[in-house]
Structure 1
Amino acid sequence: MANAARAQALGSDLRTHRKRAGLSLDRAAEIAGLSRAKVSRIELAEQGITEADVSALLVALGVPKDEKDRLQRMARQLDEPAWWEVHAGVTAQLAALIHAEQQATRITYVTPTVVPGLLQTRAYTRAIYEAEGLGDEQTDEAIAVRQHRQGILERSSPTELVAYVDESVLLRPVGGPETAAEQLRYLLKVSERPNISVRILSLAVGAHVGLDGMFSVLDMPNGKTTVHIETRNAGALLDEEPDVTPFKDTIRSLSEVALDHSDTSEMLAAYLRQHESSL
């Protein structure tokens, strides 16, 4: 199967719908005209999943039309290579994150150190990767992947993005004053889009719950929430409610102390002038 992450997501969604319908594996299989083993394989993302079997199961579970269409599309695309599969250097962890981003209706970033990846300019991203010691070829590939990921913000039904960014991120001249200024101009521009909200966590707030590290919360079409915890060399996706809840609580707390759109824009403009004055 070309994309295990997509198969796992499909299986998880179908299992969620089966449980919501109050059906056991045996009963769901009976209604769908499938074997219990077949339904189990679909839910566990094992080999042999077909679009016809998934369609029969969706009818048996009484899934609403919009959701049914989405899951049928996922089943149809299981054996079609995704764009990120042709990029060298995309690890299994990154592939899983990209797949989650592609499905998410809303992504909320909390970042105390750098501009969120989905809002970075090419030059800013390059400066980050060069600081990590990546070679030219690796850096070019990583930038291409990150730029491609940003496409979810510009498609016909764009993903909603909310970014809580610490003020110290604006102060740091990543890549030098010119690159830093370009990045802030870009943030000012994209924050005017209806699907993007940037909110600054002022230094005047002092300590806040977003200082522990970078993470993102992804809201999925099926109502589930996934959290991505990001570190330099690794990342982890969490989707169990006890694991996800603390991150939701963090976002609620930050929403109460972060600057609103108007004040955020004023602060971005002030730091933009500061970096421009250094040119």
Structure 2
Amino acid sequence: MATLVATPRSRALGFGLRAARVARGLGLRELARLVDVAPQVLSHWESGTRVPRVEQVGLILGAMRVEPVERGRLLELAEYAKEPNWLERTSFALGSYLEYERAASAMVNWEPHLVPGLLQTSEYAQVIFGSHGLPRQEVDRLTRIRLRRREVLTGRHRLSCSVLVGEEALRRTLGDPETMAGQLRHLVQAARLENISLRVVPSDSGYHPGLKGSFVLFDFAQLPPVVHIEHLRGNSHLYDREYVTDYRVAATTMTSLALTELDSHRFIQTVLVELGR
């Protein structure tokens, strides 16, 4: 039996293959017949648990007439699919990150300076995207994508989400005071959901590993965990067990430093009062 892989690149390859198949209106068995592979094998390729050879990927892409840019991206993913870690050159946590959120059973999100994307209001998100000098149309598009991500928190299969947010993120005013107040009120409301744990890490907590930067740790029901780190011009995906363990320990450390859920909600209300809202 082939060894299960499920590295970040192999999952991204699988996401891309499945998206191309759906866009062409092909069923799994139909595509499997076209490229002469067993449906079970194709299913493993689409889930990222096994990796096709580069020439097999080329055959699949040819059968689906995938456009050249996407074809090149998927072939590159196939070539390096078995490498454990990956620096993805895409901005604003799109691409593979969105699939992680949809497929994960649980996530831990640490954000020292900003409200986590899943819990942002449209006004708060627009301030962030607008600061990059993007056209208004692109700002609106990215904001719509960000808001649609909330479905994983409120849909039928709700993601278990543990949010650790730094005090600075709550006190840093983005936009005008009303925008920030609306964002804080939304946090209080979101924290009432049973699948969300929202806790604040005070600024006077001393040194802790979270001072190195934000990260998201994804756990999956049947696949190995992945750590995602967003950068200015790309995203890191960490798969090595040693790396994942270090981030899990970091999350545990910060949880021990954080206020309780109740005290965190009271703290947010205090910041709202300080804003005069």
How far did 1:94 drift? 2.2
Determine the structure 2 residue equivalent to 1:8. 14
After TM superposition, the score normalised by the length of structure 1 is: 0.69
The equivalent residue for 1:143 is 143
What does 1:23-172 correspond to in 2, within 5 Å? 42=45, 43-45=50-52, 46-47=56-57, 94-172=94-172
Deviation at 1:93, TM superposition (A): 6.9
CA distance in 2, matches of 1:110, 1:239: 18
* Same amino acid, percent of matched pairs: 26
Gaps of 5+ in 2: 1-9, 18-36, 61-89
Does residue 210 (structure 1) correspond to residue 210 (structure 2)? The answer is yes
Cα pair 2:214 2:230 within 8 Å, conserved:
yes
Assess if the C-alpha contact under 8 Å between 1:199 and 1:260 holds in 2: yes
Structure 2 CA distance for aligned equivalents of residues 98 and 212 of structure 1: 24
Structure holding more helix per residue: 1
Which whole-Å CA distance do the structure 1 matches of 2:93 and 2:162 have between them?
A: 23
Q: Tell me the equivalent position of 2:29.
A: none
| Structure 1 residue 228, shift from structure 2 partner | 0.4
Q: Distance in 2 between matches of 1:129 and 1:220?
A: 29
User: Residue 205 of structure 1: SS of its match in structure 2?
Assistant: coil
Structure 2 SS opposite 1:188 = helix
Higher mean C-alpha deviation, range 100-109 or range 230-239 = 230-239
**Separation in structure 2 between the aligned mates of residue 10 and residue 130 of structure 1, nearest angstrom:** 28
Shift of residue 150, structure 1, vs aligned partner: 1.7
Aligned residues: 210
CA drift at 1:223: 5.0
Q: Partner of 1:180 in structure 2?
A: 180
- 1:27-46: CA deviations, max 9, x gaps? xxxxxxx89xx68x942145
C-alpha distance after superposition, 1:190-237 (max 9, x if no partner): 101100111100122133221111110011111521110111221121
Query: 1:91–1:115: structure 2 CA closer, same or farther, 3 Å change rule?
Result: closer
Q: Residues 226 and 9 (structure 1 numbering): CA distance in 2 closer, same or farther, change over 3 Å? A: farther
Q: Which of structure 1's runs of 4+ aligned residues deviate more than 6 A? A: 90-93
Shift in Å, 1:276? 2.9
**Would you say the 8 A contact 2:91–2:235 is kept in 1?**
no
Equivalent in the alignment of 2:234: 234
